[in-house]
A and B are shown apart, each in its own frame.
Chain A
Amino acid sequence: MTLGMRVSGGVAVLLWVLGMAAGLTLAPPEEHMSDLVRIMFVHVPVAWAAMATFTVALVASVGWLATHRWGWDHLLDASLEVGVLLGVLLSVQGSVWGYPTWGTWWTWDPRLTSVAVMVLSFLGILALRAFVDEPEKRASWSAAASILAWGSVPFTYFCVKVMNSLHQKQTPWGAMHPDMLKALLLNTATITLLTVWMLMARYQLARTELRRELGT
């Protein structure tokens, strides 16, 4: 990994940790919601980052199918892996959030299940990539599968939107305590920055691996 990447990585991680620290300490607990709301400071940014990453996978898939340039395939490889990571994290956070509110670690709440379905769809594509040896076939097939699987992203967003409006006493963004809003925006920025860095690092890894595979 180049020096530039290492330094930028360190900065991104540092900011990310600071953001979380802010989420844990600075923002005052809301009067009728307990400190539990602090989970939101990591949950919402990760949700946004995961869906954005899967959308990058969609763009990369269309890019590869249109131009057959390897850069798109590397981006697809990176965004699938980072997306699944964020998706798994999202599910874990969701169930941790769920326990105090519903008394169970997992329940048929559309938000939880739709995230799990989204993650499983793209996890399947990672498995597909592992089981196909031909680089061109692997790229085209996983691109086609990613385009099909992307449908789960709006489906998840729709479930979250509908369910939040039904259950959550979540205060709309405006009325939220300014400190809480600041903490949330800070965390969103740092998680997004970290996600972009992870995508770049994984992109370079994919490029190196393909060079080794093709022996060029």
Chain B
Amino acid sequence: MAPPAIATAGAGRRFIGRWAVRGVTLAVPQGAFLLVYGPNGAGKTTLLRLMGSALAPNEGTVSLFGGEAAPARSRVALLTHADGHYDELSGRENLEQAKALGGLRGSVDEVLVRVGLHLRARDPVRQYSAGMRKRLAFARLLLKEPELALFDEPYAALDEEGHTVVDALFQELHARGTTVVVSTHQVARVSALCTHHAELCAGQLVAFGPGAPARSRQGVRAAGSLGEPSAEGP
């Protein structure tokens, strides 16, 4: 039995005095498609960054593919709202730099076409719109051909056409056997594909299991407390 792609045991991460995420224990088998949902400030971003070894847990453990998180970085790709591009360089140069530095397998031209940026590849990234920067971040992720791909709010800042690109991309990654974790508020778009769901609320894992989230519970919780959302971790 292959080790789970992600296995967390009591994982917690604190920012100064506040626990953004605490006591999360779950296991995501390889090839699964996990949907993470919950209100703003529930700790979704922090959980994804823990899974992508961008953050080290203050409590508990996070292991990827059965081993330590950090050594598995070459097999994992994380897409967050900070896109990690160099504004002065062009889209193509950003990708070529990443490809050379990380020894990535993908082809720059192919991924540029896939995300629809091949016409603007030569322009410096500082001229890109938010949506185009997001597409370039997708291109970098595809370039890595990861075994585990983590997406934090993938649909944010994308236009309608962008949404369809992302949907197609999720289909393909899932079909290829890549373990995918998506944190989004657009649960409907992804629930058809997802094999597991996890619900976070105020840093606690309140639901985790196979299949799509039950329509009723997911809707009520998300719309329920419209109180001031506690500040999400960086």
Contact = CB atoms under 8 A, between A and B. Distances in A.
Do A and B assemble together? yes
Interface of A: 133-136, 213-215
Interface of A is mostly: helix
B214 interface: no
A213 B15 contact: no
A214 B15 contact: no
B189 interface: no
A39 to B, nearest CB: 46
11 contacts: A133-B16, A134-B15, A134-B16, A135-B16, A136-B58, A213-B16, A213-B17, A214-B14, A214-B16, A214-B17, A215-B17
Contacts of A133: 16
Contacts of A134: 15-16
A133 to B, nearest CB: 6
A214 B58 CA distance: 12
A214 B16 CA distance: 6
A135 to B, nearest CB: 7
Contacts of A213: 16-17
Interface string B14-58: 111100000000000000000000000000000000000000001
A28 B183 CA distance: 80
Interface in B45-74: 58
Contacts of B17: 213-215
A136 B17 CA distance: 12
A215 to B, nearest CB: 4
Q: Which 8 A-B pairs have the closest CB atoms?
A: A215-B17, A214-B17, A133-B16, A213-B17, A134-B16, A213-B16, A135-B16, A134-B15
A176 B15 CA distance: 58
A208 to B, nearest CB: 14
B70 to A, nearest CB: 14
A136 B234 CA distance: 15
Contacts of B58: 136
Contacts of A135: 16
Contacts of B16: 133-135, 213-214
Contacts of B14: 214
A1 B153 CA distance: 50
A133 B58 CA distance: 16
B50 to A, nearest CB: 14
A136 B58 CA distance: 9
B14 to A, nearest CB: 7
Nearest to B234: A134
A136 B59 CA distance: 13
Contacts of A136: 58
Given A134-B15, A136-B58, 9 more contacts: A133-B16, A134-B16, A135-B16, A213-B16, A213-B17, A214-B14, A214-B16, A214-B17, A215-B17
A69 to B, nearest CB: 13
A179 B15 CA distance: 58
Contacts of B15: 134
Contacts of A214: 14, 16-17
A141 to B, nearest CB: 15
A4 B174 CA distance: 64
A214 B15 CA distance: 9
Nearest to B15: A134
A213 B58 CA distance: 15
Nearest to B17: A215
Nearest to A213: B17
B22 to A, nearest CB: 13
A133 B233 CA distance: 13
A15 B17 CA distance: 41
Nearest to A68: B56
B2 to A, nearest CB: 31
Contacts of A215: 17
A65 to B, nearest CB: 14
A135 B17 CA distance: 9
A85 B155 CA distance: 55
A163 B13 CA distance: 52
